[in-house]
């Protein structure tokens, strides 16, 4: 099934070659979870601070249970500091 995977700021380094604009279209097996996808691309869990699926926040405790569906868009941001 096809999904979009977006990594922002310093996390964009974890995207595979061929990605554009912090985004890549992926073909993944049905039933994959958000947590499995994050691990598959070796994004450190502590760095996956804000995770959205289709604009909806997925808390850390739900990431290994939240199964992706065809056409989903997963967006991940690291912790942000500043002021």
Domain CATH code at residue 20: 3.10.20.30
Structure tokens at 51: 């995770």
What is the domain count for the chain?
1
CB contact burial 32-71 (16+ within 10 A = b; e otherwise) = bbbbbbbeebebeeebbeebebeeeebeeeebeebebeee
**Longest CA span, the chain:** 41
pLDDT at 83 over 70: no
The whole domain housing 70 covers: 2-77
Instruction: Give strand ranges (E) for 1-83.
Output: 2-7, 23-27, 50-53, 56-57, 73-77
Tell me, yes or no, if the pTM score tops 0.95. no
For residue 27, being part of any structural domain is answered with yes
Task: Summarize pLDDT for 12-62 with one digit per residue, the tens.
Answer: 999 988 788 899 999 999 999 999 999 999 999 899 999 999 999 999 999
């Amino acid at each position: 099934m096809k999904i979009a995977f977006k990594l922002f700021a310093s996390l964009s380094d974890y995207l595979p070659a061929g990605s554009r604009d912090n985004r890549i279209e992926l073909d993944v097996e049905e039933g994959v979870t958000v947590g499995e996808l994050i691990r598959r691309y070796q994004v450190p869990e502590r760095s996956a601070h804000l995770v959205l699926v289709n604009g909806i926040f997925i808390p850390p405790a739900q990431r290994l249970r939240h199964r992706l569906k065809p056409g989903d868009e997963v967006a991940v941001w690291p912790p942000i500091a500043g002021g």
